[in-house]
Amino acid sequence: GSSPDGAVSPEVERLLGGAADRSLPVEGLEPLVSERFYNVDINSVDPQVAPEEWTLRVTGAVENELEVDYEALTSMEAREEFVTLRCVGDPLNGRKMDNALWTVVDVAPLLEEAGVTADSERCCVMLRAADDYYEEFPLSALREGMLAYRMNGAPLPRRHGAPVRALIPGHWGEINVKWVTEIEVLTEEMDGYWEQKGWHG
């Protein structure tokens, strides 16, 4: 997504420029890449996690527990993806749905390295975060999942989960856990953060 000195790459400039060209010049209508991306989390103060201190663990029903640091993750094959997130609590015609260009790596190679196969014993996955948030969803969804570390060509902002967040296509924003630190593979379903508090949206 960028050169080592932090400059935006030609690919990011091309994609963002294309999105700007395709945006409609209608008053009150946001462009294809959102100017103000919504932000919802459980914190009064968001965690501040330095990239050099961050790690991601793959644990639970795995053959080999795995831990990768930021340097290892950002050395994986990456690409730029437009992904839209929407808040599960957004009312009809609400405004908490936004789009950005993310620099991502796939989760699947990490699952493979940990020896996770699509067998019937592994039902789901719990994503855990540095702010003690956690959310569960089907293992099959994580096979299309991504880990993002840049947003619109810049390092991921703190309020969007820096240094690394999850992006899980086809799922509400709450599933796309920010400040992600652990992927726990489960053999039985467990309640996520909000479900434990009695909310089953």
Instruction: Looking at mean pLDDT, say which of 64-78, 135-149, 170-184 comes out highest.
Output: 64-78
Residues 6+ apart with CB under 8 A from 87: 38, 40, 94, 96, 97, 172, 173, 174
Residues 137 and 83: their CA atoms lie apart, in Å, by 18
Least confidently predicted of 7-11, 27-31, 144-148, 168-172: 27-31
Asked if residue 151 lies in contact with residue 100, where contact means CB atoms within 8 angstroms, the answer is yes
Average pLDDT over residues 53-74: 97
Q: What pTM, to 2 d.p., does this model score? A: 0.87
